[in-house]
């Protein structure tokens, strides 16, 4: 009986030792450090706050899809690369969306990306001179694509305004206003560019194309 008890205690000690060693080895691969790279607009602490639930999780079994879901809560993130550096470090390279304008819609304010995606608005000094859009992103996407098709100099635009009759006004950085018709406005844009290339337009502030086949200058 005593011999059996000694054997049982010996086995218990052995198993406990093995479990402790396994736990020690596994814990060495728990996530301890996160490195963020290439973030220009987003603060590092804001990204790391999204990843708090992953600290002390086993890096070997870390689910990249869950990390992606957490990161994409930040609307400034376009994409990212994840690299596991064993035993306990996660390295994330961020690729951010680039704002091209500030959208005002129903008293809400957003940045718009190059792909015309909404980005949560927060004051960024580097983007305080972006053009304003009064309208909605879907109509703006169509209009913006047409501006690019006629090679309109987008960097000269200060403000885009959409009216209820689906008509756009453009205001340039030198404070000229171009009033476009609701239909066939590409032709009006081309006319304006042609006119601008051949004439000195400094004395005019208003270019009104709303009446078909007519231009009113003021």
CATH superfamily of 99-217: Cell division protein FtsQ/DivIB (3.40.50.11690)
27-96 carries CATH number 3.10.20.310: yes
d(CA 172, CA 160): 9
List where CATH 3.10.20.310 sits in the chain: 27-96
Please tell me the predicted confidence (pLDDT) of residue 185. Answer: 94
DSSP string, the chain: -HHHHHHHHHHHHHHHHHHHHHHHHHHTTB--EEEEES-SSS-HHHHHHHTGGGTTSBSTT--HHHHHHHHTTSTTEEEEEEEEETTTEEEEEEEE--EEEEEEETTEEEEEETT--EEE----GGGTTPPEEES-HHHHHHHHHHHHHTT--GGGEEEEEE-TTS-EEEEETT--EEE--SSSHHHHHHHHHHHHHHS--TT--EEE--STT--EE-
Please tell me the predicted confidence (pLDDT) of residue 29. Answer: 87
User: HEC profile for 34-65?
Assistant: EEEECCCCCCHHHHHHHCHHHCCCECCCCCHH
Please tell me the predicted confidence (pLDDT) of residue 107. Answer: 83
Please tell me the predicted confidence (pLDDT) of residue 149. Answer: 95
List where CATH 3.40.50.11690 sits in the chain: 99-217
29 neighbors 86 (Cβ within 8 angstroms): yes
Please tell me the predicted confidence (pLDDT) of residue 43. Answer: 92
Please tell me the predicted confidence (pLDDT) of residue 18. Answer: 39
User: C-alpha distances in angstroms, 118 versus 77, 100, 101, 183?
Assistant: 11, 11, 10, 27
Nearest CA to 178 among 149, 201, 145, 148?
201
Please tell me the predicted confidence (pLDDT) of residue 124. Answer: 86
CA angle, residues 163, 168, 172, in degrees to nearest 5: 125
Please tell me the predicted confidence (pLDDT) of residue 26. Answer: 61
Per-residue pLDDT of the chain (218 residues; tens, 9 = 90+): 554 443 434 443 433 443 434 444 467 889 999 999 999 989 999 999 999 999 999 998 999 999 999 999 999 999 999 999 999 999 999 999 999 999 998 888 999 999 999 999 988 888 889 999 999 999 999 999 999 999 999 999 999 999 988 999 999 999 999 999 999 999 999 999 998 887 777 788 999 999 988 898 98
């Amino acid at each position: 009986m005593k011999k059996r008890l000694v054997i049982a205690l010996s086995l218990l000690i052995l198993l406990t030792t093995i479990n402790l060693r396994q736990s020690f080895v596994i814990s060495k691969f728990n996530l301890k450090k996160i490195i963020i790279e290439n973030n220009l607009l987003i603060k590092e602490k804001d990204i790391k706050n999204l990843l708090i639930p992953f600290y002390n999780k086993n890096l070997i079994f870390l689910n990249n899809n869950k990390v992606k879901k957490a990161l994409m809560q930040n609307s400034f993130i376009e994409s990212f690369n994840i690299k596991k550096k064993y035993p306990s470090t996660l390295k994330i390279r961020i690729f951010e969306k680039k704002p091209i304008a500030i959208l005002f819609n129903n008293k809400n304010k957003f940045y718009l990306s190059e792909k015309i995606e909404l980005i949560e608005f927060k004051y960024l000094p580097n983007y305080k001179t972006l053009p304003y859009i009064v309208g909605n992103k879907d109509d703006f996407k169509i209009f913006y694509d047409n501006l690019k098709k006629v090679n309109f100099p987008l960097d000269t635009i200060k403000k885009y305004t959409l009216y209820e009759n689906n008509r756009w006004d453009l205001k340039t950085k030198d404070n000229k206003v171009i009033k476009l018709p609701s239909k066939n406005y590409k032709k009006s844009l081309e006319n304006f560019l042609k006119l601008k290339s051949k004439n000195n337009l400094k004395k005019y502030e208003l270019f009104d194309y709303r009446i078909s086949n007519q231009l009113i200058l003021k």
